[in-house]
Structure 1
Amino acid sequence: MQRFSFRLETLLKIRKIEKEQAQMKLSDATAKLLAEKETLAQLQETMDSSLASLKAKQQTGLNVAMLNLFSDYIAAVNGTIILQHQKVTTAEQERFSCLKRLEASMQKCKLVEKLKEKRLTQYRLATLQEEQTILDEVGIQIFNHKNIV
Structure 2
Amino acid sequence: MRAFHFGLESVLSLRKMKEEEALRRFISVKNLHQKKREALDRIFETRRLAQEEMGAKEEGSVDVKTLLQYQRYLAGLVVQIAAARAELVRLEKELAARREILTSATKDRKVMEKAKEKRFAEWREEFRRAEQKETDEVGTQIYLRDGDGEREP
- Scaled by the length of structure 2, the TM-score of the pair is 0.92
Offset of 1:129 from its aligned partner? Answer: 0.4
* Stretches (4+) displaced over 4 A: none
Secondary structure at 1:147 match in 2: coil
Which residue number in structure 2 is paired with residue 9 of structure 1?
A: 9
Offset of residue 61 of structure 1:
2.0
| Aligned partners of 1:19 and 1:105 also within 8 Å | yes
Unaligned runs of 5+ in 1: none
CA contact (8 A) 1:50 1:74 kept: yes
Q: Distance in 2 between matches of 1:70 and 1:138?
A: 98
- The more displaced of 137-146 and 103-112 is 137-146
Output the CA distance in 2 between the equivalents of 1:20 and 1:4: 26
C-alpha distance after superposition, 1:14-55 (max 9, x if no partner)? 011111111111111111011001110110011101111110
- 1:94-145 Cα distance to aligned partner (Å, 9 max, x none): 2222121111111100100000000000001001101111111111111111
- Whole-angstrom CA distance in 2 between matches of 1:45 and 1:138: 84
Shift of 1:92: 1.8
Matches within 5 A, 1:1-149: 1-147=1-147
Which has more helix, going by share of residues? 1
Deviates more, 1:102-111 or 1:56-65: 56-65
Matched position secondary structure for 1:83: helix
Q: Residues of 2 paired with 1:13 and 1:51: CA distance?
A: 57
Aligned equivalents of 2:133, 2:75: Cα separation in 1: 86
CA RMSD in angstroms, aligned pairs only: 1.3
Give the gaps of 5 or more residues in structure 2.
Answer: none
* C-alpha contact (below 8 Å) 1:36/1:91 kept by paired residues: no
Aligned residues: percent identity? 27
Distance 2:44 2:61 in 1: 25
Whole-Å separation in 1 of the counterparts to 2:79 and 2:61? 27
